[in-house]
């Protein structure tokens, strides 16, 4: 799932670029809510979302997307769009996280904290409860461990008083107990992207991480950042895109130059 | 109800009441089947299987009825109903995770512990776990047989047969581009999801088989039309679908349903118009299923 801080801008981008991603369950909900916020009724918003799906490509089949659109409309009614610039994490919260034994545990705690603030933006008086699948949490924390180890990490956090599990044993929810509601006043880290939160925490600790100039995601330096040569500017995905773009521009310039030479 | 009955002593009121209900259940089932003949079939009382209907009962009977409420399928049914298996495994997985976080071990390890070794919190956890289980784990005979099979076959891994069939036999030399492959593969994936949903809906709605097979065929026809828009050439399209289907993406049935005629035409063009098939013959040299067969060749061009 895509955890975006500015869903309003995302909706506009999807509509202008006619981008339809099969793996992103949230995308249609965001577009549907965007239309609802513009004053469309549920039925009209559904029609507009169907139009959007049809515009996205010949191979987009309404037969396949119909159920997903219905679910998106249902969810859009309940969940407003998030429009925030960043999430603040205060010095006090970071000091509390630093008391944990082990950087991996600290990354997990940092990720849970950011998620609780993110969920709080969607629903006021959430009381720092989150209900996010474990695979999303650990992917955002950049931690790859077995299921048993994941449970062991949660257990350590629970015994240290950082999280609380609900009475319902069938639930994946947890309450974050160390979040500070007044983090904006004492902001030490500003989280602009809800991706690679583990790396963002490691960057704060002084690790070899940087923010991609194109997409803003925090990634690890491929080589020694203090070594020879220019420092890395883009993540691997953006680097490939930009290289392809630059190559295309170069070839266009070359052909334009040759054309002018021929005319002369 | 047998699985629920196995949880009580033979002399108990619960056991005897369930015995009575089992007998009544057989009669009710038979009457329901014969309803079409005009027999007035009395339905099973809701208080025997529905939790919510217990609230209408007087307070002194409610607890007794709750103890003998048959609102769950027995454990062995997970091998018959895939939804039961899915619900059970996701329930177990979620509880194992929470059990590991709260106590440091998973549910199975907790259940193996002796009752006097469990703390109050662990006992309460187990009680809640057993109460909300989607399947009944009573010690009825079939559940016990199921457990024996599971214990013995736990360590046995299913070996998939290797795919030795050479699919180039079905294809021609026509080449396709990567863009066409990706587009058709995407369509295949989408349509397989749609077909999967239709089959799941059939189990719930139980619509007529004829209507359903027409609906499925319409879906396949719709897929074929979409594929023609992406790749109008019949030979290239057929090769693409064979590669995708036999590459385990969608299953071989998908290829034959959508491009069956084209595949047969390709085979006839490749290997001549003679087809060979076994025909029953008492003097034949092929023996199968207690009968004898011989190969018969037919020229389809005729």
Q: What is the DSSP string of A2-38?
A: ---SBHHHHHHHHHHHT---TT-THHHHHHHHHHHHT
Going by pLDDT thresholds of 50, 70 and 90, the confidence category of residue B158 is low
- DSSP secondary structure letters along B190-215: HHHHHHHHHHHHHHHH---HHHHHHH
Q: What is the pLDDT of residue A59?
A: 55
Tokens of A118: 């993110």
Q: Which residues of A touch B134 (CB under 8 A)?
A: none
How many contacts does A have with B, using Cβ atoms within 8 A?
A: 57
Q: Which residues of A touch B219 (CB under 8 A)?
A: 63
ipTM of the complex: 0.77
Three-state secondary-structure class, residue A230: coil
Average pLDDT over residues B131-140: 87
In this complex, which of B101, B125, B197 lies closest to A151 when CB atoms are compared?
B101
pLDDT in tens, A114-134: 999 999 888 878 889 999 999
Burial of residue A79 (CB within 10 Å: 0-12, 13-18, 19+) is middle
pLDDT in tens, B194-224: 888 777 777 666 556 667 778 788 888 888 8
Average pLDDT over residues A90-96: 91
H/E stretch holding A211: strand A209-211
B32-48 b/e (C-beta count within 10 Å ≥ 16 → b): eeeeeeeeeeeebeebb
> Residues of B near A (CB-CB distance < 8 A)?
91, 94-95, 97-102, 104, 125, 128-129, 132, 183, 186-187, 190-191, 193-194, 197, 219, 222, 226, 229-230
Would you say A140 and A198 are in contact if contact means Cβ atoms under 8 Å apart?
Answer: yes
pLDDT in tens, A170-186: 888 999 998 887 767 77
Q: What is the pLDDT of residue A139?
A: 93
Give the rounded percent of residues in chain B with a pLDDT score beyond 90. 5
pLDDT in tens, A200-214: 999 999 888 888 988
Report chain B's mean pLDDT, rounded to a whole number: 83
pLDDT at A158 over 90: yes
Q: Which residues of B touch A64 (CB under 8 A)?
A: 190-191, 193-194
Q: What is the pLDDT of residue B243?
A: 85
Going by pLDDT thresholds of 50, 70 and 90, the confidence category of residue A168 is confident
pLDDT at B111 over 90: no
Can you say how many angstroms the Cα of residue B33 is from the centroid of all Cα atoms in its chain? 25
Q: What is the pLDDT of residue B203?
A: 65
Count CB-CB contacts under 10 A for residue B53.
14
Going by pLDDT thresholds of 50, 70 and 90, the confidence category of residue B171 is confident
H/E stretch holding B111: helix B107-112
Average pLDDT over residues B130-141: 87
H/E stretch holding B298: strand B291-299
Can you say how many angstroms the Cα of residue A236 is from the centroid of all Cα atoms in its chain? 17
Average pLDDT over residues B139-150: 90
Q: What is the pLDDT of residue A61?
A: 66
Q: What is the pLDDT of residue A155?
A: 94
Going by pLDDT thresholds of 50, 70 and 90, the confidence category of residue B162 is low
Burial of residue B239 (CB within 10 Å: 0-12, 13-18, 19+) is buried
Average pLDDT over residues A146-170: 90
Going by pLDDT thresholds of 50, 70 and 90, the confidence category of residue B36 is confident
pLDDT in tens, B219-255: 888 888 888 888 888 888 888 888 888 876 567 777 8
Instruction: Say if the Cβ atoms of A148 and B100 lie within 8 Å.
Output: yes
Q: Which residues of B touch A170 (CB under 8 A)?
A: 91, 94-95, 98, 132
pLDDT in tens, A97-118: 999 999 999 999 999 999 999 9
pLDDT at B180 over 80: yes
Three-state secondary-structure class, residue B286: strand
Q: Which residue of B has its CA nearest to A65?
A: B190
Average pLDDT over residues B111-121: 85
Instruction: Say if the Cβ atoms of A59 and B101 lie within 8 Å.
Output: no
Going by pLDDT thresholds of 50, 70 and 90, the confidence category of residue B106 is confident
A70 near B CB under 8 A = no
Q: What is the pLDDT of residue B83?
A: 86
Would you say B76 and B142 are in contact if contact means Cβ atoms under 8 Å apart?
Answer: yes
Q: What are phi and psi of B79, to 5 degrees?
A: -90, -5
Going by pLDDT thresholds of 50, 70 and 90, the confidence category of residue A161 is very high
- Chain A, 7 to 46: residues with Cβ < 8 Å from chain B are none
């Amino acid at each position: 799932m895509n955890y975006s801080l500015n869903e309003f801008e995302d909706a506009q981008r999807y509509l202008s670029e006619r981008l339809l991603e099969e793996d992103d369950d949230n995308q249609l909900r965001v577009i549907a809510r965007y239309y609802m916020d513009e004053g469309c009724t549920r039925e009209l918003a559904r029609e507009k979302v169907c139009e959007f799906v049809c515009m996205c490509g010949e191979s987009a089949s309404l037969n396949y997307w119909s159920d997903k659109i219905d679910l998106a409309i249902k969810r859009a009614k309940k969940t407003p769009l998030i429009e925030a610039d960043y999430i603040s994490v205060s010095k006090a919260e970071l000091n509390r996280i630093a008391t944990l034994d082990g950087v991996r545990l600290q990354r997990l705690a940092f990720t849970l904290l950011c998620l609780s603030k993110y969920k709080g933006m969607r629903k006021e008086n959430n009381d720092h409860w989150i209900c996010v699948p474990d695979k999303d949490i650990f992917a955002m924390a950049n931690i790859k461990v077995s299921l048993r180890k994941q449970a062991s990490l949660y257990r350590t956090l629970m015994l240290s008083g950082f999280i609380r599990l609900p009475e319902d044993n069938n639930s994946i929810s947890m309450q974050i107990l160390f979040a500070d509601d007044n983090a904006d006043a004492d902001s030490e880290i500003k989280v602009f992207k809800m991706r690679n939160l583990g790396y963002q925490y490691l960057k704060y600790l002084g690790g070899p991480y940087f923010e991609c100039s194109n997409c803003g995601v925090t990634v690890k330096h491929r080589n020694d950042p203090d070594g020879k040569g220019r420092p890395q500017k883009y993540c691997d995905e953006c680097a490939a895109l930009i290289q392809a773009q630059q190559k295309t521009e170069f070839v266009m310039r070359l052909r334009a130059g040759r054309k002018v030479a021929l005319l002369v | 109800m047998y699985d629920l009955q196995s949880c009580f002593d033979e002399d108990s009121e619960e056991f005897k009441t369930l015995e009575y209900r089992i007998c009544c259940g057989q009669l009710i089932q038979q009457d329901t089947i014969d309803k079409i003949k005009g027999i007035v079939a009395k339905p099973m009382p809701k208080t025997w299987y529905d939790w919510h209907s217990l609230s209408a009962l007087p307070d002194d009977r409610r607890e007794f009825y709750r103890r003998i409420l048959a609102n769950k399928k027995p454990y062995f049914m997970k091998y018959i109903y895939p939804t039961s298996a899915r619900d059970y495994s996701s329930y177990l997985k979620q509880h194992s995770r929470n059990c590991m976080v709260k106590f440091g071990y998973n549910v199975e390890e907790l259940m193996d512990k002796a009752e006097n070794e469990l703390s109050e919190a662990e006992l309460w956890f187990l009680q809640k776990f057993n109460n909300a289980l989607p399947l009944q784990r009573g010690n009825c005979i079939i559940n016990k047989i199921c457990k024996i099979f599971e214990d013995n076959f736990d360590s046995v891994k299913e070996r998939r047969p290797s795919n030795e069939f050479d699919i180039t036999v079905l294809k021609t030399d026509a080449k396709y581009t990567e863009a066409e492959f990706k587009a058709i593969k995407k369509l295949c994936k989408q349509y397989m999801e749609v077909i999967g949903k239709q089959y799941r809906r059939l189990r719930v709605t139980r619509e007529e088989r004829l209507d359903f097979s027409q609906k499925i065929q319409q879906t396949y026809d719709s897929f074929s039309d979409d594929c023609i828009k992406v790749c109008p050439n019949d030979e290239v399209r057929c090769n693409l679908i064979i590669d995708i289907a036999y590459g385990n993406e969608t299953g071989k049935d998908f290829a034959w349903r959508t491009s069956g005629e084209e595949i047969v035409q390709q085979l006839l063009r490749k290997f001549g118009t003679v087809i060979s098939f076994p025909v029953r013959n008492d003097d034949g040299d092929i023996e199968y299923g207690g009968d004898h067969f011989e190969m018969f060749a037919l020229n389809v061009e005729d």
